[in-house]
Structure 1
Amino acid sequence: MSEAQNLLIQEVWRVIDQSAVGLHASALQSFGMDDTLCASVGSGLSPATARTWVHERTIVLGIQDTKLPYVKDGLDFLQKEGYQIIVRNSGGLAVVLDRGVLNISLVFPEKEKGIDINRGYEAMYLLIKEMFADFQVEIEAREIIGSYCPGSYDLSIGGKKFAGISQRRLRRGVAVQIYLCVTGSGSERAGLIKQFYSLAKRDEETKFSYPEIDEGVMASLSELLGIDLSIEETMLRFLKALKERSQRLESGSLIAEEWPVFEGYHQRVVERNEKFFNGI
């Protein structure tokens, strides 16, 4: 058994399902929540925790996106298209969230040996492959050039990306996060980000390299698998795969000791966003 597979095996997995209630909350809460869970799991207050979340139409920008020379023009376009905009507190570039995108965070304790960054990515990759093992498709993990927020652990089928993985490390907790485009049009989501970069960058030379988006290299799982896959069915597949790697799943929410921590981390993200939007 590989080290990545071992990482998924936990005596208890606490599961916080916000795939429905998240529709009524700002995505800023999700980033405060994952920081809270990193601190809680890292300190041993909580067991390893899996959190699922879905938000209404939201564009999540990376720090580098805020430095685009004409960022306000790009933001104005996204707002006219009916999207909320937030800036996350970690790396990466712009991604699209909506009712057809399921986000999963796996939060592990970083014990004595530590968790190598690729081991965290590989663990999520293995879990996703198992979730869809009944389909005769090969899910690859490699960078998809032309996708938004490209990375070495883009997940794709037939060269078309449907998911991206990131990590957040805080206080000896490691959150491995993935967005899964489950339903809807992957190319439409990509076209939205393409237009954002076109307006926010124009033809200016920039120190940082932004992706040249190709709408044809992104798709949803429903499109790639040829079925009408729902968020609910994907959730069931996720829980089944996780259950096979633990003695038990515990459904829950934040415990009393975690709420003050959440309020602090959430406030930090809110203030960072206010500073950015007030300054443009």
Structure 2
Amino acid sequence: MEILRGRGESPTADREVTAALLDRAADAGITTIRVWRPHRHLAFGRRDAAAAAYDHARRIARDHGYPPIERQVGGRAVAYTGSMLAFGVALPTENGRRGIDERYTTATRILRRALRETGACVEAGEPDASFCPGAHSLRVPAGGKVAGIAQRVRRDAVLVAGCVIVTEADAAAVGAVLDPVYRALDVAFDPDAVGSVEAAGGPVAIGPVAREIEDRFINSDWGNGTRRVRSVE
């Protein structure tokens, strides 16, 4: 498994770095793990872009200091504060449509174990009216959403990716910007449905959480414990 560290110079450039991992997985057969802090921005999904109030929602994001970006995959808007974590694992495959559920199960198990190793008590599940709602999330028990997982699937490669909110300060910031954005888009959202690793009993420091997530994926069946580190160019 290859480990990619660092980030691109801008939110758009950084997303291109992650997208390139799919090509590398397909062309060279290399599995790569990336755990990093994305730039501050707000990523809108395709469904958001089709909404009548999309331009208004983009202005709201910009007014709150979050440059708006439209991502290529589905889902609803996600805010990145600049100190949140994101992760992505690019895997070569002969048929990306096969094994989607199994990959979700594996990724959820690995991420949950990683967060539990930091001291955070998290469980699988999605709170009502959460941000970017989906079936594959981790939450504080009876509390807010801490992490969400998604997949970008091609025939020859897949990207299993997600975001992790570490601190209560970031949870509050995410809620503050997404509340007016989701209202503009007429999407149900409850700021109290945003959780964090800290709220689940884990650390405030982001570094140990990032290292644990990286290590758990490396030492899974996807990584086989091998490491080769390179940096974003």
Normalization by structure 1: what TM-score?
0.74
Q: Which has the higher helix share?
A: 1
Q: 1:38 to 1:226 in 2, by over 3 A?
A: closer
| Identical-residue share of aligned pairs (%) | 20
Find 1:39's aligned residue among 15, 18, 23. Answer: 23
Q: Is the 8 A contact 2:127 2:193 kept in 1?
A: yes
Using the TM superposition, give the Cα deviation of residue 46 of structure 1 relative to its aligned residue in structure 2, in angstroms. 4.1
2:76 aligns to what? 93
Alpha-carbon distance in structure 2 between the residues aligned to 1:112 and 1:170: 8
- Aligned residue number for residue 38 of structure 2: 55
Displacement of 1:84? 0.6
1:91 Cα deviation after fit: 1.0
1:111 counterpart letter in structure 2: E
Larger Rg: 1
Partner of residue 197 from structure 2, selected from 221, 228, 233 = 221
- Equivalent residue, structure 2, for 1:5: none
For residues 3-62 of structure 1, the C-alpha deviation after alignment (integer angstroms, 9 at most, x for no partner) is: xxxxxxxxxx100012xx44xx2222233223322122123x142111123223200000
Residues in 2 aligned to 1:101 and 1:188: alpha-carbon distance in whole angstroms: 11
Distance 1:251 1:114 in 2: 29
- The SS at the match of 1:178 is strand
* Matched residue, 1:161: 145
**Match of residue 172 from structure 1:** 156
2:5 paired residue among 17, 22, 25: 17
Aligned-residue Cα RMSD (Å) equals: 2.3
1:232 lines up with 2:207 in the alignment = yes
Q: 1:95-132 CA deviation, whole Å, 9 max, x = no partner? A: 01122311100111113696411112112111112213
Provide the aligned length of Structure 1 versus Structure 2. 228
Gaps of 5+ in 2: none
Give the Cα separation in 1 of the matches to 2:111 and 2:213. 8
1:124 aligns with 2:107: yes
- Counterparts of 2:39 and 2:96, CA distance in 1: 39
Which residue does the alignment assign to 1:194?
179
1:249 — aligned with what? 227
**1:14–1:250 contact (8 Å) kept in structure 2:** yes
Alignment-mate amino acid for residue 192 of structure 2: G
